[in-house]
Amino acid sequence: MRAERGADSCVTLDAGDTIQGTPLAYYYAKIDPITKGSTHPMATAMNAIGYDAAAMGNHEFNYGLDTLDTFRRQLRFPLLCANALDWNTGRSVYPTYIVTTVKLKGQKPIKVGIIGLVTPGVSIWDKANVEGKVKFNGIVEQAKI
């Protein structure tokens, strides 16, 4: 699409659940962990494709915050999660949103806001990984802020 329509007219996004759920993801979390120096192949692929942003899914928290933070540092685009808040301060732990400009041929540029939000169920499903560190506001409530 970028070649056909122009890179400035395309936005490439991911909705999360990227680093858990496949044998490949398990391998880079447990066998040859990215926290010990490996590069996650999904980071390599997404960087090569040229993603503009990705939202975190609940499965990004399954292997713990160290794995998540390592994966996030390997990306050349923001991994967004507006409702993941520091347990003590209530401040956002991760980038919350981006604004990008889309240029369509023959039209004025369009500003597009992209926000990432994750299900607050993470606080239950990954309690062992997040309790005392990260809390999750409701999606609707956080989006209103």
Look up the pTM and report it. 0.92
Binning pLDDT at 50, 70 and 90, where does residue 1 land? Answer: confident
Q: How far is CA 129 from CA 1, 7, 44, 93, in A?
A: 39, 38, 25, 14
> 22-55: per-residue pLDDT in tens?
999 999 999 999 999 999 999 999 999 999 999 9
pLDDT of res. 61: 97
Confidence of residue 141 (pLDDT cuts 50, 70, 90): very high
The answer to whether 117 touches 26, Cβ cutoff 8 Å, is no
User: Which distant-in-sequence residues (6+ apart) come within 8 Å of 38 by Cβ?
Assistant: 28, 32
Q: Each residue of 117-131: pLDDT tens digit? A: 999 999 999 999 999
